[in-house]
């Protein structure tokens, strides 16, 4: 912004005045001028200190202007551009604030004959019921989005200069095409305003309108607030973006017709489906506004600070098992009847799975304090979703979805976050193709997955090249829809939650040795599910207590499925004082309380037969090894390299940052225990690595800062709070710039 010698605002109302105010507040030292047809607005802007001068005539202001911002109504853009065209200097950059872009681009084409490279169209998503320069607000754009719609041949420097202007105002920059902008805004802004205007106008026409308004409550006020916006501006918007608005209105009218039909028929379940989908879509929208979700449009670096010292004591229950939470929703949706789930993990990944089934027409109530009610639609009752199914950071969800969607009659696309798009999916796509599925992947077998429906599937006997519960489960779920028997043979035991839960839903799955199989064509019947506490989440606290003198901790109701207890076996082998009590079975799954007290650990050679039973727990176990006497050696763990990150290398890099002696090999790592310091660690968006180094700080000689921790919400949303409850000192510092030093 330092290079903008003179900024010219064409139109000095709320938007232009607030832009001037924001630039002044940010310390912009260049000249700010304004052109407005109302000389009183210009005088007021000068008295308020927003502008240095102005005129009602453009010709007097354009010479010397390096950045020109068009803040006039959309329908006035063409005449303003026509007046500007002969006055522009070669280095002048032009942008605008219009809420439709197609009409403004058409206006530019009409005036200039092409889109000038120095014209960068933009739209700040901000406003107020008030209007005029008197309502100017220097904070109007702070933390609000500004969408730029550059053309393929737009001048790069011009785009950068416009972006810099909005950035100093505190805005968040997004970029999209003109057509996409108008389509999105028609649905999210233009349609809501249209409905608000229409509702208030309808009520105002009634004879008893005064009585109606007198008794209107806060909901009416909140919904209709935007009907107080500038009518002329909105008239112009609807004229300029007519086609997209009409398309959005058609979709809305179809939705209203569905609600009306449900109310007319007294169809409570249909109403519940509509209302629950809407309620949770609104919740998701709210997370975007508050930037509390890793699904936000902007990638943010969330940093943790973990301090040394403290003890780990008390009794806690960690969140529900993520693997079982995913499966409870999937099988409950495919069952006949109503499935009640207790202990559901309300993390981002599990919620993404839940939302995906809502998008496919399943009515789901909750979650509320871990309780979810699923109104199953049967194996063949899913409906085509309106768009791609987003599964967040979860490889489990994507691979299991691939299996059950391969048998549907409709096409689907599976997408996820940036981390998930790097993970291999051919391991499920290839055997599904052997069964007859038609699946497209991105380069190198990565997501997104495009699954073509309507393909007849046949059961296969598949010898898995890797020990993966996700691959096994994918094949069994596809086998529900396949002709004949589907059989998966695994090279080493993996978690068997899918087999247990299918049997719980009345679908017979047989197992003998390394093989699991089922026959297609059956059905699932609803049953209650009690999700035990996740042993993967419990592991961070097991290790925390194991390495910290004076610790004494009980973890309640933890799932101890025989295919998941590698971490217990490994810690015991290292000398941990760990006992299992109150063993019982809940919903077909074994659970128990785990009691752990501090005891000195010793390094071991981790038995390879335990690796598949602890594959998700190794980031925390690496921290146990760093605090053990002697050397700990891990081999046969190639699978760690294709998790949310290359967990072997990323953990090794973090260990190096805090001074832990180690050596990486292709399928594992050697870690020598001893004293270590603090430092700045990059978790590479891997939630388990972020939590592992939070635990490491307990025995560090200095604080550990951990970057890229936003994805902790995927599996353990209350990790920081539980850590504080047991005596750890972990602080969420919020979003910071990558590499920024902490104050």
Residue 355 or 220, more confident:
355
Q: With helix as H, strand as E and coil as C, how does 43-71 read?
A: HHHHHCCCCCEEECCHHHCCCCCCEEEEC
**Distance (Å) of CA 529 to CA 349, 371, 378, 728:** 19, 10, 17, 32
pLDDT, residue 208, reads 57
133-142, 268-277, 378-387, 622-631: segment of lowest average pLDDT: 268-277
Q: What is the DSSP letter of 633?
A: E
Tokens, residue 628: 């053990």
* Confidence band, pLDDT 50/70/90 cuts, at residue 298: very low
Tell me the mean pLDDT in the region 333-344: 95
Can you say whether the dihedral through the CA atoms of 337, 338, 340, 345 is positive or negative?
positive
> How do residues 576-628 score in pLDDT, each as one tens digit?
999 999 999 887 789 999 999 999 999 999 999 999 899 989 999 999 999 99
Q: What is the DSSP letter of 190?
A: I
Considering only CA atoms, which of 118, 115, 123, 113 is closest in space to residue 89?
A: 118
List phi, psi (to 5°) of 396.
-60, -50
- Asked whether residue 292 carries a pLDDT value surpassing 50, the answer given is no
> How do residues 65-88 score in pLDDT, each as one tens digit?
999 999 998 889 999 999 999 998
pLDDT, residue 192, reads 87
Instruction: Identify the residue whose tokens are 């004076």.
Output: 550
Tell me the mean pLDDT in the region 103-124: 95
Burial 537-548 (b: 16+ CB within 10 A, else e): bbbbbbbbbbbb
Q: Are 75 and 96 in contact (CB under 8 A)?
A: no
Give the separation between CA 123 and CA 230, rounded to whole angstroms.
Answer: 17
Q: Are 353 and 330 in contact (CB under 8 A)?
A: yes
Considering only CA atoms, which of 523, 721, 493, 504 is closest in space to residue 610?
A: 493
225-229, 306-310, 402-406, 408-412: segment of lowest average pLDDT: 225-229
- Asked whether residue 168 carries a pLDDT value surpassing 80, the answer given is yes
Can you say whether the dihedral through the CA atoms of 176, 180, 186, 187 is positive or negative?
negative
Give the separation between CA 387 and CA 676, rounded to whole angstroms.
Answer: 49
> How do residues 151-167 score in pLDDT, each as one tens digit?
999 999 999 999 999 99
User: What is the separation of C-alpha 425 from the centre of its chain, rounded to a whole number of angstroms?
Assistant: 20
Residue 643 or 727, more confident:
727
List phi, psi (to 5°) of 293.
-120, 145
- Asked whether residue 190 carries a pLDDT value surpassing 60, the answer given is yes
Can you say whether the dihedral through the CA atoms of 132, 138, 139, 142 is positive or negative?
positive
User: What is the separation of C-alpha 183 from the centre of its chain, rounded to a whole number of angstroms?
Assistant: 22
- Asked whether residue 209 carries a pLDDT value surpassing 60, the answer given is no
Residue 634 or 241, more confident:
634
SS3 assignment, position 617? coil
SS3 assignment, position 208? coil
Residue 296 or 582, more confident:
582
Q: Kindly tell me the burial class for residue 253, based on how many C-beta atoms sit within 10 Å of its own C-beta (0-12, 13-18, 19 or more).
A: exposed
The pairing of beta strand 438-440 with beta strand 449-452:
antiparallel
Give the separation between CA 195 and CA 252, rounded to whole angstroms.
Answer: 10
pLDDT, residue 278, reads 82
Contacts of residue 262, defined as CB under 8 A and 6 or more positions apart, other chains included, come to: 270, 271, 274
Give the separation between CA 488 and CA 462, rounded to whole angstroms.
Answer: 5
Q: Are 714 and 536 in contact (CB under 8 A)?
A: no
Give the separation between CA 606 and CA 334, rounded to whole angstroms.
Answer: 40
pLDDT, residue 357, reads 94
Q: Are 586 and 610 in contact (CB under 8 A)?
A: no
SS3 assignment, position 537? helix
Tokens, residue 350: 């599990």
User: What is the separation of C-alpha 582 from the centre of its chain, rounded to a whole number of angstroms?
Assistant: 37
- Asked whether residue 299 carries a pLDDT value surpassing 90, the answer given is no
Q: DSSP string of 464-483?
A: -SS--HHHHHHHHHHHTTEE
Range with top average pLDDT, 193-207, 270-284, 336-350, 425-439: 425-439
Residue 98 or 131, more confident:
98
* Confidence band, pLDDT 50/70/90 cuts, at residue 294: very low
**Which residues are documented as binding site for 3-phosphoshikimate?**
322-323, 327, 468, 470, 616, 643
Give the separation between CA 168 and CA 183, rounded to whole angstroms.
Answer: 28
Tell me the mean pLDDT in the region 393-406: 92
Gyration radius of the chain over CA positions: 30
* Confidence band, pLDDT 50/70/90 cuts, at residue 211: low
The overall longest dimension of the chain from CA atoms, in Å, is 88
* Confidence band, pLDDT 50/70/90 cuts, at residue 25: very high
Give the separation between CA 279 and CA 275, rounded to whole angstroms.
Answer: 6
List phi, psi (to 5°) of 320.
-60, 155
pLDDT, residue 296, reads 36
To the nearest 10°, the Cα dihedral for 229, 230, 235, 238? -40
Tell me the mean pLDDT in the region 9-23: 93
Tell me the mean pLDDT in the region 256-267: 91
SS3 assignment, position 646? coil
Ranges of beta strands (E only) in 126-203 are 145-148, 172-175
Give the separation between CA 491 and CA 466, rounded to whole angstroms.
Answer: 7
Ranges of beta strands (E only) in 502-561 are 510-512, 515-519, 529-530, 552-559
Tell me the mean pLDDT in the region 222-239: 79
* Confidence band, pLDDT 50/70/90 cuts, at residue 3: low
Q: DSSP string of 423-467?
A: S--HHHHHHHHHTT-EEE-SGGGPSPEEEE-SPPEE--EEE-SS-
Active-site amino acid positions: 616
> How do residues 695-731 score in pLDDT, each as one tens digit?
999 999 999 999 999 888 777 889 999 999 999 999 9
pLDDT, residue 492, reads 86
Burial 597-613 (b: 16+ CB within 10 A, else e): bbbebebbebeeebbbb
- Asked whether residue 301 carries a pLDDT value surpassing 90, the answer given is no
Q: Are 360 and 379 in contact (CB under 8 A)?
A: no
pLDDT, residue 683, reads 94
- Asked whether residue 60 carries a pLDDT value surpassing 60, the answer given is yes
Tell me the mean pLDDT in the region 227-236: 80
Tokens, residue 377: 């639609």
Residue 644 or 166, more confident:
166
Considering only CA atoms, which of 624, 631, 700, 686 is closest in space to residue 310?
A: 700
* Confidence band, pLDDT 50/70/90 cuts, at residue 293: very low
Ranges of beta strands (E only) in 125-207 are 145-148, 172-175
pLDDT, residue 224, reads 75
Give the separation between CA 376 and CA 398, rounded to whole angstroms.
Answer: 20
Give the separation between CA 491 and CA 155, rounded to whole angstroms.
Answer: 57
**Distance (Å) of CA 434 to CA 414, 428, 438, 473:** 20, 10, 9, 16
Contacts of residue 469, defined as CB under 8 A and 6 or more positions apart, other chains included, come to: 323, 494, 495, 496, 497, 498, 563
The percent of residues in the chain predicted with pLDDT above 90, rounded, is: 68
């Amino acid at each position: 912004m330092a290079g903008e010698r003179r900024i010219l605002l064409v139109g000095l109302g709320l938007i232009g005045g607030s832009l001037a105010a924001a630039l002044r507040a940010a310390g912009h030292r260049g000249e700010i001028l304004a052109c407005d047809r109302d000389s009183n607005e210009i005088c007021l802007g000068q008295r308020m200190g927003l502008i240095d001068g102005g005129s009602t005539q453009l010709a007097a202001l354009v010479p010397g202007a390096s950045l020109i911002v068009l803040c006039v109504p959309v329908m006035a853009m063409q005449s303003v551009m026509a007046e500007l065209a002969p006055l522009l200097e070669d280095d002048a950059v032009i942008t605008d604030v219009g809420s439709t872009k197609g009409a403004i681009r058409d206006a530019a084409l009409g005036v200039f004959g092409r889109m000038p490279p120095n014209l960068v169209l933009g739209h700040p998503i901000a406003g107020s019921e008030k209007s005029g320069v008197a309502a100017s607000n220097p904070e109007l754009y702070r933390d609000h989005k500004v969408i730029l719609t550059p053309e393929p041949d737009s001048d790069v420097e011009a785009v950068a200069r416009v972006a810099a202007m909005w950035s100093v105002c505190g805005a968040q920059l997004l970029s999209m095409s003109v057509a996409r902008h108008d389509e999105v805004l028609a649905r999210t802004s233009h349609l809501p305003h249209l409905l608000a205007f229409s509702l208030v106008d309808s009520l105002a026409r009634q004879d008893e309108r005064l009585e109606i308004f007198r008794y209107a409550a806060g909901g009416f006020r909140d919904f209709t607030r935007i009907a107080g916006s500038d009518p002329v501006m909105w008239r112009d918007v609807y004229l300029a973006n007519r086609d997209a608005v009409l398309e959005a209105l058609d979709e809305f009218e179809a939705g209203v017709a569905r609600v009306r039909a449900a109310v007319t028929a007294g169809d409570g379940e249909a109403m519940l489906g509509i209302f629950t989908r809407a309620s949770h879509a609104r919740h998701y929208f709210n997370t975007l506004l508050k930037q509390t979700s890793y699904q936000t449009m902007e990638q943010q670096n969330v940093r943790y600070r973990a301090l040394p010292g403290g003890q780990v004591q008390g009794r806690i229950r960690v969140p529900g098992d993520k693997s079982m939470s995913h499966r409870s929703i999937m099988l409950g949706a495919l069952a006949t009847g109503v499935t009640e789930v207790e202990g559901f993990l309300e993390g981002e990944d599990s919620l993404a799975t839940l939302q995906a089934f809502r998008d496919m027409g399943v009515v789901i109530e909750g979650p509320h304090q871990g309780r979810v009610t699923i109104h199953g639609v049967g194996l063949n009752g899913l409906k085509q979703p309106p768009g791609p199914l987003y599964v967040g950071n979860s490889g489990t969800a994507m691979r299991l979805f691939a299996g059950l969607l391969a048998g549907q009659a409709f096409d689907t696309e599976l997408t996820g976050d940036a981390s998930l798009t790097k993970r291999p999916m051919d391991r499920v796509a290839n055997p599904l193709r052997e069964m007859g599925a038609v699946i497209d992947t991105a380069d190198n077998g990565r997501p997104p997955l495009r699954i073509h429906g309507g393909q007849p599937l046949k059961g296969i006997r598949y010898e898995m090249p890797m020990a993966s519960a996700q691959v096994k489960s994918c094949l069994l779920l596809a086998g529900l829809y396949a002709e004949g028997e589907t059989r998966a043979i695994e090279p080493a035991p993996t978690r068997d939650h899918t087999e247990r839960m299918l049997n719980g839903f009345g679908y017979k799955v047989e197992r003998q040795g390394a093989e699991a199989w089922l026959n297609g064509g059956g059905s699932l019947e609803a049953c209650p599910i009690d999700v035990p506490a996740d042993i993967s989440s419990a592991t961070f606290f097991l290790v925390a207590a194991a390495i910290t003198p004076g610790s004494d901790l009980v973890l309640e109701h933890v799932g101890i499925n025989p295919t998941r207890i590698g971490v217990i076996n490994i810690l015991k082998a290292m000398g941990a004082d760990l006992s299992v009590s109150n063993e019982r079975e809940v919903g077909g799954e074994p659970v128990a309380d785990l009691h752990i007290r501090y005891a000195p650990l010793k390094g071991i050679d981790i038995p390879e037969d335990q690796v598949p039973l602890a594959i998700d727990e190794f980031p925390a176990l690496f921290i146990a090894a760093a605090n053990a006497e002697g050397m700990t050696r891990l081999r046969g763990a190639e699978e760690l390299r294709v998790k949310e990150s290359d967990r072997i290398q990323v953990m090794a890099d973090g260990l190096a940052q805090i001074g832990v002696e180690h050596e990486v090999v292709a399928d594992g790592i050697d870690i020598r225990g001893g004293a270590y310091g603090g430092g700045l660690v990059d978790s590479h968006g891997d939630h388990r690595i972020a939590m592992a180094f939070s635990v490491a700080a307990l025995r560090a000689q200095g604080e550990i800062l951990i970057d890229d921790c936003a994805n902790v919400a995927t599996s353990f949303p209350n990790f920081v709070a539980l850590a504080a409850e047991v005596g750890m000192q972990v602080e969420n510092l919020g979003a910071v710039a990558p590499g920024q030093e902490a104050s």
